[in-house]
C-alpha cells in the first residue's frame, strides 16, 4: 500500500535516454518466462480447442464442434455441478478447520519458537507426495480397513460401512486432508499481522471473546480467507487424480473429463473442456475478488 | 449541574451531569487527595510481577477526583504496567485498585468504569470513524440509530464530525487520536487512561493535542491518568505529577512542587533544569537558572555554550569534576561572552540550594 503513496509523492526521475531500454531489459526475463510457460500454452490450448478430430487423427481447423458437443451434452452439466459441489464442500471444511488451526496458532500460542515449530508440524504431510497421502487412506477406509474394523470391534456397527471408501465422502475427505494447509497458511499469515492492541481495545470496549472474533478478527482476516479460498477452489476444481483414486473411478469431475479425453487422444475436445473450466474458475475468482480486496496482502 | 460550571459546550453527554462540577477545582491544588470525596481512584499495595522481575512494587496512591494525573518516568519504570493494571489489561499480582471505594482489580476492563486510549490508538481499521466510536455500544446491543446518534455527539465533542465516514487509514495522526478519544469516552468512564497518547505525533501537533486533552478533562470532570516519559508534557498538563522509577513512586505532587522541590537525585535529574551537586557530604539540587557567572564563586572550565534565543545554556566542569549547567539570560551572557575552554566562576545563592533526601 505504502509503495503507491511514495510513488505518487516522489518526484519523477529525470528522463534519460536509455531509461526505457533498461526498464524493458529488467522486465524481460520474467516476461519471457510468462510468455513461454503461461501464455503460450494457454494460447495453444485455445487454438487446439477449435481443431477437429476423428477416431484416429486430429486436424487443424476452426470449427465449434467441440464446444457444441460440450454444451449439448447433459453429462457436461452434471460433471460441472459435481465439480462445484466438491469445491464448495471442501472449501467449507478447509475453511472451518484452517481458520481454527490458524486462530489457535496465532492467538493461543504465545511463544514464537513454539508457534514456528507447530507451524512446521502442519507441513509434515507435505514431505511426502500427494498420491501417497491419498492412497494411504485406502487401507484405512476400505471395507475391511482399520476404520470399519475398529467400529465393529467397538460394537458400534454390525456391517462394514460401504460409504467410507469409493464415495463422495472419501473424495472430500482426501481433498480436505490435502488442501487444508493451503487455508491455514494465508489465514495464519493475516492473523499474526493483526495488532494485538486491537484485541485489547475490543475488550476495553466490552466485547466478549466471541464478539471480538466476529467483529474484529474475522473482518481483518478476510483477505487471508480469500487467498486460501482461491487456492482451495482452484486446486479442487482442477483436480482429477484424487477423484479417480478416492472414488475408485466411480465419480467424475471436470478434470476427469479432460483426462479421459486425453486418454482417448481426443485433444481438441479436451482442450475445449479445459478452456471452459479455465473460464469458469476465472469467473469464480473474479466474483470472489469483488467481495474482498486482497491487494494489501500481496 | 453542568450549567453552573460555566463551561460552554455544544453537546452535553448525559454522563457529564452525574459528575460534581466543583470536583474540577479540587485537583488543581493537589489537596484533593485528602478529601476522599467523589470518584477517586486508589491503589493499595499494588504489585506486578513477571516471573522473578518486579515491574511494580507495592505502590500506594490516591488519585484525586477530577484530576489530571501524569505518570512520569523512564521506560521500564513500571508506569505502563501500573496503567494497564488499572485498565484491566494486566492482571494484578498483589494489592487492589479501588474506584469509588469498590475493588475493581478482578473485573473485566469494560466493567471497571475505566477506558483506555492506546498508544497507537488501536482504531479498528475495517470500521469507519463513526463505527469505531460506536463499537462499545454495538457490543452492548444498542440499536444502530441510537448508537450512531451517540457516536455523532462524541465526534462533535472532539471536533471530528466531518470525518465520520472515513476509515482510520484516511486520517492524520492527530485526527486518529481524536477518534480514539471519542471511542474511549463513549463508554462514559470515570477514569480515562492514556498510554503515551502524544508520542506518535509531531511536536507541533503534540502541543495542540495537549491543550485539547486538558480542555476535555476540564469539561468532563473525570480523572485522566496520562502515562508519559516527557517531563515537559507532564508539567504542562498535570494537576498532579507522579514520578516513578524502578517500580516505585519516587515522588508525587503538584507539578510546581515536584519540579521546584525534588525529593531525590533521580527526580531532580529526571525533571531536568537542575544541577545535582555534592555539598557537605550530601547532595543538593540547584536550579540551572539560579546559577550565574560571577566574580567570586566556584571556579570551573566552560565546556559548551548553546544559544537558545531568550537564554543561553552553558555547561562547565568544576575542579571537583562535576558538570554544572547554567541557563543565563541572553543579555547578561553577551555582556561578556565566553567560549569553551575558558575559565569561569560560577555562583548561586546558598539559600537556593535544595537538599536531596536520596
Contact in structure between B95 and B46 (CB atoms under 8 Å): yes
Query: How large is the greatest C-alpha to C-alpha distance in chain A, in angstroms?
Result: 83
How far away is chain B from the Cα of A122, in angstroms, using its nearest Cα?
Answer: 30
pLDDT, mean of residues A212-230: 93
Q: What percent of chain A has pLDDT over 70?
A: 92
How far away is chain A from the Cα of B192, in angstroms, using its nearest Cα?
Answer: 11
Owning domain of residue A212:
66-297
Asked if domains B2-113+188-260 and B279-355 share a fold, the reply is no
How far away is chain B from the Cα of A169, in angstroms, using its nearest Cα?
Answer: 38
Residues in chain B: 358
The residues, any chain, with a CB within 8 Å of residue A45's CB and separated by 6 or more, are A271, A274, A275, A278
Mutate to test the interface with A, among B83, B109, B112 (most CBs of A within 10 A): B109
C-alpha cell at A39: 501464455
Inter-chain residue contact A197 with B124, CB threshold 8 Å: no
How far away is chain A from the Cα of B172, in angstroms, using its nearest Cα?
Answer: 14
> What mean pLDDT, rounded, does chain B reach?
85
How far away is chain B from the Cα of A230, in angstroms, using its nearest Cα?
Answer: 22
Minimum mean pLDDT range among B40-49, B149-158, B195-204: B195-204
* B135 part of contact set with chain A, CB < 8 Å: yes
Nearest-Cα residue of chain A relative to residue B140 = A206
Indicate the pairing of strand B191-195 with strand B114-117: parallel
**Residues of chain A with C-beta less than 8 angstroms from the C-beta of B116:** 200-201, 204
ipTM of the complex: 0.77
Report if residue A174 sits inside a domain.
Answer: yes
Nearest-Cα residue of chain B relative to residue A198 = B122
Nearest-Cα residue of chain A relative to residue B112 = A204
Inter-chain residue contact A204 with B116, CB threshold 8 Å: yes
Which pLDDT band, with edges at 50, 70 and 90, does A227 fall under?
very high
Which pLDDT value is given to residue A110?
83
CA distance A282 to B105: 55
Contact in structure between A134 and A214 (CB atoms under 8 Å): no
For chain B, strand residue ranges (E) read 41-50, 53-63, 68-72, 94-99, 102-103, 114-117, 191-195, 223-228, 240-245, 248-253, 274-279, 282-287, 292-307, 311-318, 323-329, 343-347, 354-355
Ramachandran class of B256: left when φ > 0, alpha when ψ lies in -120 to 50, beta otherwise: alpha
Q: Please tell me what DSSP assigns to residue A44.
A: H
pLDDT, mean of residues B137-144: 92
CATH class of residue range B279-355: mainly beta
pLDDT, mean of residues A83-110: 94
* B173 part of contact set with chain A, CB < 8 Å: no
CA distance A181 to A153: 33
Which residue from A201, A215, A220 is facing B118, i.e. has the nearest CB? A201
pLDDT, mean of residues B267-276: 89
CA distance B264 to B251: 8
Residue range A130-186, pLDDT digits in tens: 888 888 888 888 888 888 888 888 988 888 888 888 889 999 999 999 999 999 999
Which pLDDT value is given to residue B192?
94
Q: What percent of chain B has pLDDT over 70?
A: 89
Which pLDDT value is given to residue A6?
43
Domain ranges of chain B: 2-113+188-260, 279-355
* Dihedral (CA of A197, A202, A206, A211) sign: negative
Has residue B66 got a pLDDT over 70? yes
* B110 part of contact set with chain A, CB < 8 Å: yes
* B125 part of contact set with chain A, CB < 8 Å: yes
Minimum mean pLDDT range among A202-211, A236-245, B33-42, B323-332: B33-42
Which pLDDT value is given to residue B189?
92
Does A91 or A251 have the greater pLDDT score?
A: A91
Nearest-Cα residue of chain A relative to residue B84 = A200
Report if residue A260 sits inside a domain.
Answer: yes
C-alpha cell at B119: 498508544
Which H helix or E strand runs over A26?
helix A19-34
DSSP string covering B149-176 = HHHHHHHHHTT-GGGTTS-GGGS-HHHH
**Residues of chain B with C-beta less than 8 angstroms from the C-beta of A219:** 126
CA distance A121 to A182: 14
CA distance A200 to A188: 19
C-alpha cell at B302: 566552560
Indicate the pairing of strand B274-279 with strand B282-287: antiparallel
> What mean pLDDT, rounded, does chain A reach?
87
Residue range B210-242, pLDDT digits in tens: 998 999 999 999 999 999 988 889 999 999 999
Report if residue A61 sits inside a domain.
Answer: no
**Residues of chain A with C-beta less than 8 angstroms from the C-beta of B122:** 195, 197-198, 200-201
**Residues of chain B with C-beta less than 8 angstroms from the C-beta of A211:** 139
Q: A245, A241, A240, A298: which is closest to A274 by C-alpha?
A: A240
Report if residue A1 sits inside a domain.
Answer: no
What CATH number did the domain enclosing A71 receive?
1.10.3720.10
Inter-chain residue contact B124 with A198, CB threshold 8 Å: yes
Has residue A123 got a pLDDT over 70? yes
* B181 part of contact set with chain A, CB < 8 Å: no
Has residue A4 got a pLDDT over 50? no
Residue range B289-313, pLDDT digits in tens: 888 888 888 888 989 999 988 899 9
pTM: 0.78
Q: CA-CA distances (angstroms) from residue A83 to A86, A156, A168?
A: 5, 33, 11
**Residue with grid cell 504496567, as numbered in its chain:** B81
Inter-chain residue contact A205 with B136, CB threshold 8 Å: yes
Has residue A9 got a pLDDT over 80? no
Which residue from A201, A207, A219 is facing B122, i.e. has the nearest CB? A201
Indicate the pairing of strand A52-53 with strand A58-59: antiparallel
Which pLDDT value is given to residue A28?
93
Has residue B146 got a pLDDT over 80? yes
Report if residue A119 sits inside a domain.
Answer: yes
Cβ atoms < 10 Å from Cβ of A222: 18
Q: B283, B350, B340: which is closest to B312 by C-alpha?
A: B340
Has residue A39 got a pLDDT over 50? yes
Does B74 or B3 have the greater pLDDT score?
A: B74
**Residues of chain B with C-beta less than 8 angstroms from the C-beta of A205:** 110, 135-136, 139, 183, 187
What's the number of domains chain A is made of? Answer: 1
CA distance A166 to A130: 18
Which pLDDT band, with edges at 50, 70 and 90, does B341 fall under?
confident
Which residue from A202, A206, A216 is facing B140, i.e. has the nearest CB? A206
**Residues of chain A with C-beta less than 8 angstroms from the C-beta of B142:** none
Which pLDDT value is given to residue B36?
52
How far away is chain A from the Cα of B147, in angstroms, using its nearest Cα?
Answer: 14
Which pLDDT band, with edges at 50, 70 and 90, does B30 fall under?
very low
Which pLDDT value is given to residue A202?
94
Which pLDDT value is given to residue B12?
42
C-alpha cell at A134: 491419498
Does A227 or B353 have the greater pLDDT score?
A: A227
CA distance A213 to B89: 18
Report if residue A104 sits inside a domain.
Answer: yes
Inter-chain residue contact A197 with B183, CB threshold 8 Å: no
Report if residue A11 sits inside a domain.
Answer: no
Q: Please tell me what DSSP assigns to residue B292.
A: E
Mutate to test the interface with B, among A111, A193, A204 (most CBs of B within 10 A): A204
Inter-chain residue contact A208 with B87, CB threshold 8 Å: no
CA distance A102 to B131: 27
**Residues of chain A with C-beta less than 8 angstroms from the C-beta of B120:** 195, 197
CATH architecture observed for domain B2-113+188-260:
3-Layer(aba) Sandwich (3.40)
Which pLDDT value is given to residue A297?
57
Residue range A79-92, pLDDT digits in tens: 999 999 999 999 99
Amino acid at each position: 500500500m505504502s509503495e503507491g503513496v511514495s510513488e505518487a509523492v516522489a518526484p519523477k526521475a529525470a528522463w534519460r535516454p536509455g531509461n526505457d531500454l533498461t526498464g524493458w531489459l529488467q522486465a524481460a526475463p520474467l516476461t519471457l518466462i510468462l510468455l513461454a510457460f503461461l501464455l503460450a500454452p494457454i494460447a495453444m490450448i485455445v487454438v487446439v480447442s477449435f481443431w477437429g478430430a476423428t477416431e484416429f487423427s486430429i486436424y487443424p481447423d476452426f470449427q465449434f464442434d467441440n464446444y457444441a458437443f460440450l454444451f449439448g451434452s447433459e453429462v457436461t452439466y452434471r460433471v460441472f455441478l459435481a465439480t462445484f459441489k466438491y469445491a464448495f464442500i471442501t472449501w467449507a471444511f478447509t475453511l472451518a478447520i484452517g481458520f481454527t488451526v490458524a486462530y489457535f496458532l496465532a492467538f493461543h500460542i504465545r511463544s514464537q519458537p513454539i508457534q514456528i515449530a507447530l507451524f512446521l508440524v502442519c507441513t509434515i504431510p507435505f514431505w511426502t507426495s500427494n498420491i501417497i497421502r491419498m492412497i494411504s487412506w485406502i487401507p484405512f477406509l476400505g471395507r475391511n480397513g482399520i476404520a470399519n474394523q475398529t467400529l465393529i470391534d467397538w460394537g458400534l456397527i454390525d456391517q462394514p460401512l460401504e460409504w467410507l471408501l469409493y464415495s463422495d465422502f472419501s473424495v472430500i475427505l482426501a481433498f480436505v486432508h490435502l488442501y487444508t494447509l493451503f487455508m491455514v497458511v494465508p489465514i495464519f499469515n493475516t492473523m499474526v499481522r493483526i495488532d494485538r492492541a486491537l484485541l485489547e481495545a475490543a475488550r476495553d470496549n466490552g466485547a466478549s471473546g466471541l464478539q471480538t472474533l466476529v467483529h474484529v478478527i474475522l473482518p481483518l482476516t478476510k483477505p487471508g480467507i480469500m487467498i486460501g479460498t482461491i487456492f482451495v477452489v482452484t486446486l479442487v476444481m482442477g483436480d482429477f487424480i484424487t477423484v479417480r483414486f478416492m472414488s475408485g473411478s466411480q465419480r467424475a469431475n471436470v478434470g476427469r473429463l479432460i483426462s479421459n479425453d486425453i486418454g482417448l487422444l481426443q485433444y481438441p475436445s479436451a482442450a475445449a473442456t479445459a478452456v471452459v473450466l479455465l473460464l469458469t474458475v476465472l469467473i469464480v475468482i473474479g466474483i470472489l475478488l469483488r467481495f474482498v480486496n486482497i491487494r494489501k496482502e500481496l | 449541574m453542568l450549567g453552573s460550571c460555566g463551561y460552554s459546550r455544544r453537546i452535553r453527554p448525559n454522563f457529564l451531569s452525574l459528575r460534581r462540577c466543583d470536583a474540577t477545582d479540587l485537583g488543581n491544588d493537589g489537596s484533593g487527595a485528602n478529601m476522599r470525596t467523589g470518584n477517586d481512584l486508589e491503589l493499595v499495595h499494588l504489585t506486578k510481577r513477571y516471573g522473578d522481575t518486579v515491574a511494580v512494587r507495592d505502590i500506594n496512591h490516591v488519585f484525586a477526583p477530577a484530576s489530571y494525573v501524569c505518570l512520569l518516568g523512564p521506560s521500564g519504570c513500571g508506569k505502563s504496567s501500573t496503567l494497564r493494571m488499572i485498565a484491566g489489561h494486566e492482571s494484578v499480582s498483589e494489592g487492589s485498585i479501588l474506584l469509588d471505594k469498590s475493588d475493581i482489580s478482578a473485573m473485566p476492563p469494560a466493567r471497571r468504569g475505566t477506558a483506555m486510549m492506546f498508544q497507537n490508538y488501536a482504531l479498528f481499521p475495517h470500521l469507519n470513524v463513526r463505527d469505531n466510536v460506536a463499537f462499545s455500544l454495538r457490543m452492548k446491543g444498542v440499536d444502530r440509530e441510537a448508537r450512531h446518534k451517540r457516536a455523532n455527539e462524541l465526534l462533535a465533542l472532539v471536533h471530528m464530525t466531518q470525518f465520520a465516514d472515513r476509515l482510520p487509514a484516511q486520517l492524520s495522526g492527530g485526527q486518529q487520536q481524536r477518534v480514539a478519544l471519542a471511542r474511549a469516552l463513549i463508554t462514559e468512564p470515570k477514569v480515562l487512561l492514556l498510554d503515551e497518547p502524544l508520542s506518535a505525533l509531531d511536536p507541533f501537533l503534540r502541543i495542540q493535542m495537549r491543550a485539547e486533552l486538558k480542555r476535555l478533562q476540564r469539561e468532563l470532570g473525570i480523572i485522566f491518568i496520562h502515562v508519559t516519559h516527557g517531563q515537559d508534557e507532564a508539567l504542562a498538563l498535570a494537576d498532579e505529577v507522579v514520578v516513578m522509577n524502578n517500580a516505585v513512586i519516587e515522588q508525587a505532587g503538584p507539578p510546581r512542587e515536584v519540579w521546584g522541590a525534588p525529593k531525590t537525585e533521580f527526580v531532580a535529574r529526571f525533571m531536568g533544569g537542575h544541577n545535582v551537586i555534592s555539598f557537605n557530604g550530601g547532595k543538593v539540587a540547584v536550579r540551572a537558572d539560579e546559577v550565574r557567572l560571577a566574580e567570586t564563586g566556584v571556579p570551573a572550565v566552560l565546556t559548551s555554550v548553546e544559544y537558545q534565543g531568550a537564554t543561553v545554556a552553558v555547561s562547565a566542569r568544576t575542579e571537583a569534576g562535576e558538570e554544572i549547567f547554567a541557563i543565563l539570560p541572553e543579555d547578561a551572557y553577551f555582556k561578556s561572552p565566553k567560549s569553551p575552554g575558558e575559565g569561569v566562576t560560577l555562583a548561586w545563592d546558598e539559600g537556593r540550594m535544595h537538599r536531596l533526601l536520596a
